[in-house]
Structure 1
Amino acid sequence: MLRLSAFCAISLLLLFAGLLGVDAHGRPSPWSKGAAGRWHNDLEEAAPSRELLLELEQQEQQLELDGTINRRAPRAAVTVSASPSLIAKNGDTVTVSWSGVTKVQADDWIGVYSPSTSEHSLYIDWVYVKECETASQGFGNVTFELVNMRKDYGFRYFSGNTVLTQLAQSAPVEFVNKNEPTHGRLAYPGDPTTMRVMWVTNEDKTIPTVQYGTSAGILNMNMSGTSHTYRASDICSPLASTPSPVLFIDPGFFHDVLLTNLAPSTLYWYRYGNDATGWSAVANFTTAPQPGKNTPISFVVYADMGTYSTGPGAVATSERVLSHLDDVDFVLHVGDLSYALGRGYVWEWFGALIEPIATNKPYQVSIGNHEYCHLLGGEKDPSHAAGNGFHPSWGNYGDDSNGECGVPTHNRFHMPDNGNSVFWYSFDYGSVHFLQFSAEHDFLPGSDMYKWIANDLASVDRSVTPWIFVSAHRPAYCSENYMGDYNVSLYLRAALEPLMQQYKVNIFFSGHYHSFQATCPVMNGTCSGTFDKPTAPVHLMVGMSGASLDNETYMNVTWDAFHDQAFGVAYVHVHDANSMYFEYRHNDNDGVAWNMTLSNWAML
């Protein structure tokens, strides 16, 4: 967190003002991110009214037509300034200062706009002026960390939240290089001699290039790749496809470079970009080991993260992961990534949040309901599901993505190509076979995905990868009292437990509920063995990584080994073919809240 400003003792990230929040179970969320790193509860402290701002905009437009005012000119003696006016690089800070206010009202606030010419109602953040310790003296400043969204920013001072007056606005703040390479991330393609590098710029006229080598100072190898994007017309439903500063924004171009002929288990240094658009900072990664029966690996696993704007625990999670980054090989994010819900700038912030992690470790993702579920426009669905997706009568599959239907996720992340894009795929890493599928698609016996899952499990060579870890966003076991989701879990069990039993799957990772829960080794709702002598999979629900926590009660079930409603991160350390260690750590103190040593029932 930033701790700047001598006159306003708060630290700020550019945060979402709360437009479309819903929680994991389809309920309207009362929480929206405010300034100063804290969370506004909109049931108690409302965000500035977009409706009143729209009325003010219309009034000012009419007065401008009448020749009464220039609505973009400074007002009275109140001033708002932003410094510096040119931002050198993504993530740099700007200090917004205000002065000349005779009497600060309790609901005076500063709005953040990108682009700077946006209508009043389309702010993407706000801070209440009263939070500054010098507010009573008529001046103050706040500091923001800006993400390069390839357009400028502006800041406006408003007085009132029931009757609004715009008192002042800053000059625009711009990035020196709007083509700066941003949102860098790695992905493991499934072959230890390869690594995928992706990033974003504002153009596709130059060749995207990665320079790399085995020394930080000698990047003597080059690989070029391809570029692509998506447009508003590619998205399934009108809300997510509506051009607006707070809905669809131009996502830029995604550059995708596959590095090949790498040596396994080797440290490489790299940078991405080109001479025309600029280069990223030099980072490094280590290639995967050759798959092997006793090859140890470690990874982070979590779900339901969000970002600065949509997850009150997301920043702490990213900080905890960064503090343990040297101890793990990659990250497994099991759905519900950004909670953008059609808001393009939230995707921008998610890219910025994970970049320090994802430029050093492969960031493997899967689809969640808030990336995919939709009710319209199924012909645009990149997964090519029939109709408008999976909507069984017994399920609670709605419009949880607000019409995104997986399009942003499909374009922003490139996972192994042996399944169906980001929706389902598998890969071997060390001694583990990983299978990620989509619980938002038809998983019933006879479906295309079910057949793929069955074939993939049947193809695993346990003499090479003795462990099998399966993951999907929705859990097959969770005892929180959300009956709609619990009903879906029963169908997941009925469909997939026979396969998991047949092929001796070791762990099923999931999320969806914003909490943590671990089961005993369980099959058909009954504990089967112990952690040291299991005869069934263990289910680990890791949805506690950032999005607003659940506060529901729990059903009384026999298979619940541990449950917890606190923000945290899970770590997995596979020692050899026979034993692995799992731990769940709380974000607040990094303490281990629950752990488990598990034997491999396929080896017993």
Structure 2
Amino acid sequence: MYSLKIIFYFIVIKLINAQVLWYQPEQIHLSYGETSNEIVVTWSTFNDTKESIVKYGIGGTILIAKGYSKIFVDGGSKKHLQYIHRVTLSSLTPNSIYVYHCGSHLGWSAQYWFRSSPTVETWQPHLAIYGDMGNENAQSLARLQEETQRGLYDTILHVGDFAYDMDSENGEVGDEFMRQIESISAYVPYMTCPGNHEEQYNFSNYRERFSMPGGSESLMYSFDLGPLHIISISTEVYYFMNFGIKPIVFQYQWLEKDLIRANLPENREKHPWIIVMGHRPMYCSLTDKDDCTHHETITRVGIPFLHWFGLEQLLYNYGVDIEIWAHEHIYQRLWPIYDYKVYNGSYEQPYVNPGAPIHITTGSAGCKEGHDIFNSTNPEWSAFQSKDYGYTRLKAFNSSHLYFEQVSDDKDGMIIDSFWVIKESHGPYKFSNMDWATMDGLRLKTFH
């Protein structure tokens, strides 16, 4: 028989453990606000701190910004609960290094830093781009962490499929993934789009954990970065029709409006390169029988049989320069392509004044599912392909020159592919059947 004293201590310990409170900030990550001159700091706590504060500054000065928190309950059986905090830092001094930490009077994070965006037109942003990293076998993570903290990148583009899956283990896998990327995402804006592995509970883990422009109810947004106008879309609205057709229609209409605005002469002069990123590619040459291996890829031609809301013609008509995808666990670069026809700038210089968008699939950052396998024969529209784990770098030099390279993590950081895209002018392609229309009072002129 236990003594009454031992039973008393046991009850006290149980009560204390039942009241453990978790106020410490974690899963810290940055993103752009409604402009690239705003930074949104997002983090999680597992209890309500009643306040969301970022202390930040340059050279010893301390500024304070306050935001809000929102309860997020994962849809799993345990109803895993956390408070997701968001604070917007506005009116930042351009091209300056800010030191910050976040939290509340109940607990603060470690100190981090970020560089605010320059406003000068000569800014040459440097990006790391990848999809399909995963919580397990995040092969490229260590190299990306090191390069980010050395100041190599201004922005990260994660093109869908994050933790495999964020909702797993009642959301705890998502927590662990967000902790893993903190050594990247707490230092540079971590910009995202949803992938198929985020679908559970109507993409709730994706919507709630990330703070992208446009708010959590929107799976698409755009932002400007130096000479780049970057558009993030959800290819998943075409593949999860259980959520209805409305998301497809809404995104298509939103996308065309955004492309119209981006093509206004004053906007295209400031941000001439239009880059679209979405998770599932329109083209691939693999053995896995995914949709991109089919001639009538849904995102390319639209809803099956009806061919409504296809994206390829829309992006071609509005002169999109680069299309970035993931989903397939490989790296594949295409020649300039539209409707399975190659439109190289010339035989000697295919990416100098190309006649169609350039597609890049970069879905080999890691993940537990391993590599995909290329077909034994390489189609004429495929310029380069590799199944090495790795990621893509983009350097935007100016209005006429972009530079891409592919890093192989399997080969200890070796550059296995590199190429320049050079354009003397930007706009609709020569053979576009675009009939410029007036939309929302915006009239465009054809310019070459």
Structure 2 residues without counterparts, runs of 5 or longer: 2-13, 240-244, 302-309, 345-349, 427-447
1:208 is aligned, of 39, 47, 52, to 52
Separation (CA, whole Å) in 1 of partners of 2:422 and 2:233? 24
Separation (CA, whole Å) in 1 of partners of 2:104 and 2:216? 31
Aligned to 2:429: none
2:80 is aligned, of 246, 249, 252, to 249
Cα offsets for 1:26-70 (capped at 9, x unmatched): xxxxxxxxxxxxxxxxxxxxxxxxxxxxxxxxxxxxxxxxx9xxx
1:565-604 correspondence runs (5 A):
565-588=387-410, 589-600=412-423, 602-603=425-426
Q: Report the Cα offset of residue 489 of structure 1.
A: 6.4
Aligned to 1:133: none
Structure 1 residue 409 and structure 2 residue 235: aligned? no
Aligned to 2:144: 321
Contact 1:534/1:601, CA 8 A, preserved across alignment: no
Structure 1 residue 490 and structure 2 residue 294: aligned? no
Separation (CA, whole Å) in 1 of partners of 2:417 and 2:62? 46
Separation (CA, whole Å) in 1 of partners of 2:48 and 2:218? 23
1:180 partner SS: coil
Identity %: 28
Q: Report the Cα offset of residue 219 of structure 1.
A: 4.7
Structure 1 residue 222 and structure 2 residue 68: aligned? no
Structure 1 residue 458 and structure 2 residue 288: aligned? no
Q: Report the Cα offset of residue 352 of structure 1.
A: 1.1
Which letter does structure 1 place at the counterpart of 2:147? H
Indicate the structure with greater helix content.
2
Separation (CA, whole Å) in 1 of partners of 2:284 and 2:50? 49
Cα offsets for 1:335-381 (capped at 9, x unmatched): 00111253211111101110010110010111001101xxxxxxxxx
Structure 1 residue 511 and structure 2 residue 313: aligned? no
1:447 partner SS: helix
Contact 2:291/2:298, CA 8 A, preserved across alignment: no
1:351-370 correspondence runs (5 A):
351-370=178-197
Separation (CA, whole Å) in 2 of partners of 1:422 and 1:317? 29
Aligned to 1:305: 133
Q: Report the Cα offset of residue 527 of structure 1.
A: 1.2
Aligned to 1:438: 234
Q: Quick one: higher RCO (CA 8 Å, sep 6+), 1 or 2?
A: 2
2:403 partner SS: strand
Cα offsets for 1:475-507 (capped at 9, x unmatched): 011111233422386232221222222221111
Q: Structure 1 residues 501 and 345, CA, compared in 2 at 3 Å: closer, same or farther?
A: same
Contact 1:320/1:569, CA 8 A, preserved across alignment: no
Contact 1:211/1:219, CA 8 A, preserved across alignment: no
1:409 partner SS: helix
1:51-62 correspondence runs (5 A):
none
Contact 2:328/2:372, CA 8 A, preserved across alignment: no
Q: Report the Cα offset of residue 422 of structure 1.
A: 5.3
Which letter does structure 2 place at the counterpart of 1:503? Y
Separation (CA, whole Å) in 2 of partners of 1:508 and 1:304? 17
Aligned to 1:546: 366
Q: Structure 1 residues 483 and 320, CA, compared in 2 at 3 Å: closer, same or farther?
A: same
Structure 1 residue 260 and structure 2 residue 57: aligned? no
1:557 partner SS: coil
1:479 is aligned, of 270, 282, 285, to 285
Aligned to 2:9: none
Cα offsets for 1:438-470 (capped at 9, x unmatched): 001149998111111111011012101010000
Which letter does structure 2 place at the counterpart of 1:206? K
Count the aligned residue pairs. Answer: 382
Q: 498-507 vs 567-576, which deviates more?
A: 498-507
Q: Report the Cα offset of residue 288 of structure 1.
A: 1.8
Contact 1:200/1:253, CA 8 A, preserved across alignment: yes
Which letter does structure 2 place at the counterpart of 1:592? I
Contact 1:409/1:422, CA 8 A, preserved across alignment: no
Aligned to 2:441: none
Structure 1 residue 279 and structure 2 residue 105: aligned? no
1:221-240 correspondence runs (5 A):
221-232=63-74, 235=75
Separation (CA, whole Å) in 2 of partners of 1:433 and 1:511? 19
Structure 1 residue 562 and structure 2 residue 384: aligned? yes
2:173 is aligned, of 332, 346, 349, to 346
Which letter does structure 2 place at the counterpart of 1:281? A
Aligned to 2:445: none
Which letter does structure 2 place at the counterpart of 1:523? Y
Contact 2:127/2:154, CA 8 A, preserved across alignment: yes
2:35 is aligned, of 158, 174, 191, to 191
Aligned to 2:7: none
1:562 partner SS: strand
1:383-422 correspondence runs (5 A):
403-417=200-214, 421=217
Is the radius of gyration larger for structure 1 or structure 2?
1
Which letter does structure 1 place at the counterpart of 2:131? A
Q: Report the Cα offset of residue 577 of structure 1.
A: 0.3
Aligned to 1:108: none
RMSD: 2.5
Which letter does structure 1 place at the counterpart of 2:291? D
Aligned to 1:134: none
Aligned to 1:181: 25
Cα offsets for 1:422-442 (capped at 9, x unmatched): 511100111100001000114
Structure 1 residue 427 and structure 2 residue 229: aligned? no
Separation (CA, whole Å) in 1 of partners of 2:355 and 2:161? 31
Contact 1:223/1:259, CA 8 A, preserved across alignment: yes
Separation (CA, whole Å) in 1 of partners of 2:66 and 2:315? 41
Q: Report the Cα offset of residue 327 of structure 1.
A: 1.5
1:500 partner SS: helix
The two structures have a TM-score, normalised by structure 1, of 0.60
Aligned to 1:31: none
Contact 1:192/1:289, CA 8 A, preserved across alignment: no
1:536 partner SS: coil
Separation (CA, whole Å) in 2 of partners of 1:228 and 1:565? 40
Separation (CA, whole Å) in 2 of partners of 1:601 and 1:483? 38
Which letter does structure 1 place at the counterpart of 2:127? F
Separation (CA, whole Å) in 2 of partners of 1:204 and 1:600? 52
Cα offsets for 1:173-214 (capped at 9, x unmatched): x99x73211111101114133110011112224211000101
Contact 1:515/1:549, CA 8 A, preserved across alignment: no
1:535 partner SS: coil
Separation (CA, whole Å) in 2 of partners of 1:205 and 1:275? 8
Separation (CA, whole Å) in 2 of partners of 1:337 and 1:452? 25
1:451 partner SS: helix
Contact 2:208/2:216, CA 8 A, preserved across alignment: no
Which letter does structure 1 place at the counterpart of 2:298? Y
Contact 1:199/1:255, CA 8 A, preserved across alignment: yes
Q: Report the Cα offset of residue 318 of structure 1.
A: 1.5
